[in-house]
Amino acid sequence: MTELLLVGIGDLGLPYLIAAKRLQVGVRLVETAERAEPLRDLVDGVQLVPGTAEEQWADAALAAAAERAPDGVLGLGEHQVMAAALVGHYLGLPGPGLGAAVVSRNKALQRARFSSAGLPQPEFLVADSLAEAGEWAGARFPVVLKPLGGSGSSGVELVRDRAAYAEAVEHRAHDGRLLVESAARGPEYSWEGLVREGKVLLGNITAKETTGPPHFVETAHRVGGAPAHVERAGQQLGRDVVAALGLDTGIAHLEFRMTSAGPVIMEVAVRTPGDSIMDAVGLVHGLDMYEALVRLALGMPVPAVERAVPHGRSASLFPLARPGRVTAVTGLAEVREHPGVARVFVGVRPGDTVRPTTCSADRPAAVLLSADDDAQLERSIAHVRATLAIETVPEA
């Protein structure tokens, strides 16, 4: 039987397992004991990871591949990208390639690569100490501070002036090496590309809505209907980034801002994007993105991708709440019954705590929407925002 080695399943990877079973492909899972235990009867073997460090994922994935060579390998999230790329590199399996994986895992390496390729991006400085970068930042305010790794806006911060920078120097004194960038201005988008042997099979533009400064946490992603100039420029930028990375096979998730001078790269990942973007893209393009990636990883044909024609609109929406203790969640049943709602998740209940929104993990709810056109989608978004409420009171 054809077998896929799935490195990590987390909260997002179950659709990969479902797609593999539909294709009659066996799955061996590399996961922690806690996450693997409920899935043991659904997979064809488990290689346990003793922790969550990137090196531990790599050790476990390589051990699983040494025990029995898989026909394909997929890494789910940021910490599994290198593990899957190493297995693919040593066994000659389809994947993003070791170079693309290495660069994707470090924002400073991304800046270096895109600079050498002549691609548009902010001015940047890699700083061992924010205090030492003060003069450079002072000539470019506002600037954005980013950790070299991570995802979900974790650790990203806009600093507007010298007073705010001095505060950042103090409260981030133990953060280690950071990337300091000039702040690009313009609406945010992402580009999702399915790639086989360096050729883009499908490119999608997603419009992004965020909380804005200082942390820019995503609150909505809209798929379909991007302005024509954004579509053209974003598709070209996506192809250029794939070429610059040397990305071979898999998925690219590129984030960019559309400035008055054109698109400017924020960052890129070569793994499954979060925020239900895979599901939203699939709704508009009429395909199962998870199955498409399983097929790419196994060298199988991807006919649904090759004949995909965008239609309709979709969105993933993340209603927020005031920080504090949850007293009630209202409107959930009404939202579930709305015809434009495909899926609803609320991760808090009365008695839980809602934290200030500084990264994606702080968002208490998620809604997936589908519509025929922009007007219908916006009506559905307005309905969810007016109906679903997470009520809180300040904690003592």
Which CATH number goes with the domain that contains 230? 3.30.470.20
Does 319 fall in a domain? Answer: yes
Domain finish residue from 163, 182, 201: 182
Q: What mean pLDDT is reported for the chain?
A: 95
Do 209 and 284 belong to one domain?
Answer: yes
* Chain segment 79-95, per-residue pLDDT in tens: 999 999 999 999 999 99
Mean pLDDT of 381-387: 98
287 and 324 inside one domain:
no
The answer to whether residue 127 sits within a structural domain is yes
pLDDT digits (tens, 9 = 90+) for 221-244: 999 999 999 999 999 999 999 999
Do 70 and 131 belong together in one domain?
A: no
Q: How far apart are CA 141 and CA 367, in angstroms?
A: 36
- CATH number of domain containing 150: 3.30.1490.20
Do 201 and 225 reside in the same domain of the chain?
A: yes
Q: Which of 285, 260, 290 is nearest to 272 (CA)?
A: 290
Mean pLDDT of 348-372: 96
In this predicted structure, the answer to whether residue 137 has a pLDDT above a threshold of 90 is no
As for how many domains the chain has, the answer is: 4
* Residues 201, 295 within the same domain: yes
Residue 214 pLDDT > 80, yes or no? yes
* Residue 177, pLDDT score: 85
Does the structure show a pLDDT above 70 at 76?
Answer: yes
Mean per-residue pLDDT, 188-197: 98
pLDDT above 90 covers what percent of the chain? 86
Tell whether 207 and 306 lie within a shared domain.
Answer: yes
The pLDDT value recorded for residue 150 is 65
More confident position, 396 or 237: 237
Q: What is the H or E stretch that residue 191 is in?
A: strand 188-196
For residue 120, pLDDT over 70 is answered with: yes
DSSP string, 340-378: TEEEEEE---TT-EEPP-SSGGG--EEEEEEESSHHHHH
116, part of any domain: no
Assigned token pair, 228? 């024509």
Same domain, 291 and 261: yes
CATH, residue 349: 3.90.1170
What domain range includes position 247?
189-310
Give the residue, 130 or 227, on which the prediction is more confident: 227
Do 279 and 375 have their domain in common?
no
SS3 88: helix
292 membership: H or E segment, kind and range = helix 289-297
Same domain, 34 and 59: yes
pLDDT per residue as tens digits for the range 143-172: 999 888 765 556 788 999 899 888 888 888
- Domain end position, chosen among 268, 285, 310: 310
Per DSSP, the three-state class of 108 is: helix
254 and 143 in one domain? no
Q: What does the pLDDT average to over 66-73?
A: 98
Question: What's the confidence (pLDDT) of residue 330?
Answer: 97
Q: Are residues 172 and 196 in the same domain?
A: no
Q: Is 101 exposed, middle or buried (0-12, 13-18, 19+ CB in 10 A)?
A: buried
My answer on whether 169 and 269 are in the same domain is no
Any idea which residue has 């199988």 for tokens?
A: 300
Question: Is residue 102 domain-resident?
Answer: no
Structure confidence by residue, pLDDT tens digits, 22-66: 999 999 999 999 999 999 999 999 999 999 999 999 999 999 999
Spatial contact of 274 and 281, defined as CB atoms under 8 Å apart: no
Q: What share of the chain has pLDDT > 70, as a percent?
A: 99
pLDDT of residue 151: 58
- Across the range 294-312, mean pLDDT stands at 95
pTM: 0.93
